[in-house]
Structure 1
């Protein structure tokens, strides 16, 4: 590429000299602005070719003045941007791949052909997300990061090492695979404490950036109680987030404005969120509300099951189980609803159980099942056919149990003394 990109000796009327000064990258969170020049590259460049492909280089060579073209130009870059040499070769020869830094230098003509060929190197997506002038590529990079790390459990150590920009992309995804939003909250706190040792800085990051990406309305009430006493948030911020979450849980449906806010969008949790009302007097009691979408129920056929978030009764952890199961005679499949006490919970006690569901046309909760059980850890009890109909009738288009595509269930538990 002697005629397009070569070391500078003499300068002709069609070639300009580009002096590239490479400085060391400053440490993270550093205030250092003036770095020492570590290396210098001086090249002969066909300025007109670069100027037609990039507004950045047009302004660089013309100094922003029409009809004026500088013969000697100096460009200072960080060491991490030293791939500029590949960029220049790309602009002169149009290879299929190019470094992400090309978007910093506004080579917009290459975006469409590079979008399907996003490099999969671990650090590349972060560069696309963080560099300016990368709208199209940044969107692709965000999609890649969200897809690559959507399972926090599987990639926990890798995600913990990501910078703030990467964490924001992952937390913004509706498809994050986690057991519950409680796990997201715990992960964010752990990440923030590792990357921001000073509480003041940690509060700033959580309060202005990461806090808005945690979906507090889908956290359990027990975890929300801990948010109120967590000193990683200011009291004002924690109170606002918890109040907003509790207000959401008390509503029967989303308002139009809330549905546009990502904090109110439910992720694909392993354990389905529930709304819980607890009472201590006159008897220990709790009422649990579980909503399942029609498509979630359809996915249970022929033998699937779905579990709820845990809730507490008499100091023990419980959860609901919805499933598609065979009836007692083994002749047809039905909707099963059961409740269980988690294995780690100790002791046993007797509980009155009542299951109810909303149905059309009244849309009120109607009791479908009542009984009482002596609970011990790991035991699941309930009814194998909550609605007394076959699965096909339960899932039929005219089924009275789905209201606007949602099955509304209520379980009431009262401890016997």
Structure 2
């Protein structure tokens, strides 16, 4: 069955079999059309969504796989693909947005990103950032630029974006800053709960609800003791891939931590002792 989709005064020839195979949304639409013996599928879109929808149709029919060349169009394409449940295109657009435009490193792109796009970005485990502190700063700056009303800004941050910030991977210094300077962004109850949960997770065990992002500065856990004298124990965990990087002489740097009024970090690297072929991990 070949059908025609109408958008305002525009008609598109589409192949229902192809669309049903790659989108749950279209599968439900066409199954309903079959039951009612309809030959035309009508969709209602905003005018601003039409270019992104046309691009989605081209991708689904394998006539184009080229991503948009600016972050606004790429963001729109990702949102339309999500609306029509085309998960592969959502993933492709998200990867393009994060890897090509690196929105967290370019503040000038913030005004081009919709709320839905920022949500998708914050859900990613592959953000190119030094630490979760950067994610926190980006989220607050984006909200400040896009929501002048403090009340609306708080609503968006607490309901949509705040739960996607991985507070337990933030540094203690940033957590203190968050609790101290929360008024423009969060309610006191929200930020205190987030910060206290993060502190407990750092001292006991990592929160399994979120995995680590691809941080340049690896998160760590700090256990501080005061008896018989003041000392701290640092915990770092490594994945198999990270261990392989160490073998290949790629050092891994931890996030900063404070102890005895000083600020420190740990850099883990390997040194091959040729005479014994032993890998030793040095913590300078």
Q: TM-score, normalised by structure 2?
A: 0.73
Residue pair 2:122, 2:165 contacting (<8 A) in 1 also = yes
- Give the secondary structure class of the aligned counterpart of 2:104: coil
Cα distance, 1:209 vs. partner? 0.9
Highest CA radius of gyration, 1 or 2?
A: 1
Selected match of 2:151 from 200, 203, 213: 200
Higher helix residue share: 2
The corresponding residue for 2:239 is: 293
C-alpha distance 270-202 of structure 1, shift in aligned 2 (>3 A):
same
Deviations along 1:82-101, one digit per CA (max 9) or x if unpaired, are x6xxxxxxxxxxxxxxx423
Cα distance, 1:157 vs. partner? 2.9
Answer with 144-153 or 184-193: which moved more: 144-153
Describe how 1:204-283 pairs up with structure 2 within 5 A.
204-229=155-180, 230-231=182-183, 232-252=185-205, 259=208, 261=209, 264-278=210-224
Cα distance, 1:282 vs. partner? 7.6
Residue pair 2:167, 2:198 contacting (<8 A) in 1 also = yes
Counterpart CA distance in 2 for 1:309 and 1:115 is: 45
Describe how 1:13-24 pairs up with structure 2 within 5 A.
none
Q: Is 1:183 the counterpart of 2:134 in the alignment?
A: yes
Cα distance, 1:272 vs. partner? 1.3
Counterpart CA distance in 1 for 2:236 and 2:14 is: 61
Cα distance, 1:291 vs. partner? 2.0
C-alpha distance 66-165 of structure 1, shift in aligned 2 (>3 A):
same
Q: Is 1:124 the counterpart of 2:101 in the alignment?
A: no
Give unpaired runs (5+ residues) of structure 2: 1-5, 20-25
Cα distance, 1:103 vs. partner? 8.0
Give unpaired runs (5+ residues) of structure 1: 1-17, 21-40, 84-98, 340-417
- Give the secondary structure class of the aligned counterpart of 1:144: helix
- Give the secondary structure class of the aligned counterpart of 2:61: helix
Counterpart CA distance in 2 for 1:128 and 1:337 is: 47
The corresponding residue for 1:383 is: none
The corresponding residue for 2:94 is: 142
Counterpart CA distance in 2 for 1:191 and 1:197 is: 11
Cα distance, 1:302 vs. partner? 4.2
Q: TM-score, normalised by structure 1?
A: 0.52
Bigger relative contact order, structure 1 or 2, given CA contacts below 8 A and separation 6+? Answer: 2
Counterpart CA distance in 2 for 1:292 and 1:66 is: 58
- Give the secondary structure class of the aligned counterpart of 1:189: helix
C-alpha distance 287-174 of structure 1, shift in aligned 2 (>3 A):
same
C-alpha distance 100-302 of structure 1, shift in aligned 2 (>3 A):
closer
Task: Count residues with an aligned counterpart.
Answer: 258
C-alpha distance 215-115 of structure 1, shift in aligned 2 (>3 A):
farther
- Taking only aligned residues, the RMSD between alpha carbons, in angstroms, comes to 4.0
Deviations along 1:84-141, one digit per CA (max 9) or x if unpaired, are xxxxxxxxxxxxxxx423489xx6xx66324861432323322223333253433432
